[in-house]
């Protein structure tokens, strides 16, 4: 990794894995544009589903996106806000290294970025949004059937958190995250486009007057047997109880099916795609660029 980016990994980022900067593609790296191939992306979701022993494809896709966006947001925003550099994070420029469960753990970049073309809130993040996040979310929605706003909220959760804490970095200048926070505070772009990152989280006060950070949308992780509600889940009161009851019924039904299958020596399939994807699906073909 070159010195310009290595300087970022201190203070609150000291324990995180920096991107690998190399013009040579490591043997274990996948060109990121292949994530737009529905077959490739679904295979990664299957590996993650095997870990969680879950068959809810929307929840699996949501969790996978959280791992991926966490790996993307930190280096991208650190370089953008602290160095005013635009990293080469378009899907056709970079690669990823993954763990055994198919989750992204590290970025592989061809170079350390270029000076931002603009410092304006509505322009400085366009490489990240248009070249990476937007097309990937389209494919995730195509495969899982989940609404794009779910994945945008997963991304926005990390985006807002990092931006809101950027001032804690020893290299941060006053107002380091002003433009990033200005972006999430606006419902639309100046040209009238809807802003999918608008208000990804809310800060609510409880009866004791304590502020609590709450996601705008639930990430659906509670729908998997081995996952609980996250600490900033928006489901509260009766909605939370109803969701818990629904999840419990689903888990009980799943256990009954597994027990019945075991008694008849049938194979238990732990991951069932919502539908047979890709090449036969016109929508997915378009989203994957014809793959």
Element (H, E) at 31: strand 29-31
Question: How many residues comprise the chain?
Answer: 291
Closest among 80, 112, 90, 113 to 32, alpha carbons compared: 90
Closest among 213, 37, 188, 17 to 105, alpha carbons compared: 17
Residues 6+ apart with CB under 8 A from 13: 74, 78, 169
At residue 233, the pLDDT reads: 83
At residue 180, the pLDDT reads: 98
- pLDDT, averaged per 10 consecutive residues of the chain (291 residues), comes to 79 93 95 98 96 89 97 98 98 97 97 96 97 98 97 97 96 97 97 96 82 88 80 65 61 70 53 40 43 43
Q: What is the pTM of this model?
A: 0.81
Domains along the chain with CATH numbers: 12-199 (1.10.510), 201-260 (no CATH)
Contact yes or no for 37/288 (Cβ under 8 A): yes
């Amino acid at each position: 990794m070159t010195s310009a980016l290595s300087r970022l990994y201190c203070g609150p980022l000291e324990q995180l894995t920096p991107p690998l900067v190399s013009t040579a593609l490591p043997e274990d790296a996948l060109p990121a544009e292949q994530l737009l191939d529905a077959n490739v992306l679904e295979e990664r979701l299957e590996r993650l589903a095997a870990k969680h022993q879950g068959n809810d494809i929307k929840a699996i896709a949501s969790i996978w996106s959280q791992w991926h966006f966490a790996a993307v947001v930190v280096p991208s925003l650190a370089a953008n806000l602290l160095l005013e550099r635009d990293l080469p994070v378009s899907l056709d420029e970079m690669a990823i290294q993954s763990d055994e469960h198919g989750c992204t753990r590290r970025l592989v970049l061809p170079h350390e970025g270029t000076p931002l073309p603009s410092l304006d809130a509505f322009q400085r993040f366009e490489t990240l949004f248009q070249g990476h996040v937007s097309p990937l979310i389209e494919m995730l929605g195509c495969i899982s059937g989940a609404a794009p706003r779910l994945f945008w909220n997963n991304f926005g959760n990390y985006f807002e958190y990092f931006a809101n804490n950027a001032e804690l970095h020893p290299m941060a200048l006053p107002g380091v995250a002003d433009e990033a926070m200005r972006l999430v505070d606006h419902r639309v772009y100046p040209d009238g486009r809807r802003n999918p990152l608008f208000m990804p989280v809310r800060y609510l006060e409880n009866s004791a007057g304590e502020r609590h950070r709450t996601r705008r949308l639930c990430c659906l992780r509670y729908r998997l047997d081995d996952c609980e509600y996250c600490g900033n889940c928006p489901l509260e009161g009766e909605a939370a109880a109803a969701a818990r009851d629904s999840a419990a019924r689903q888990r009980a039904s799943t256990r009954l099916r597994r027990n019945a299958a075991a008694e008849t020596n049938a194979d238990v399939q732990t991951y069932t795609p919502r539908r047979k994807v890709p090449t036969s699906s016109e929508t997915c073909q378009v989203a994957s660029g014809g793959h």
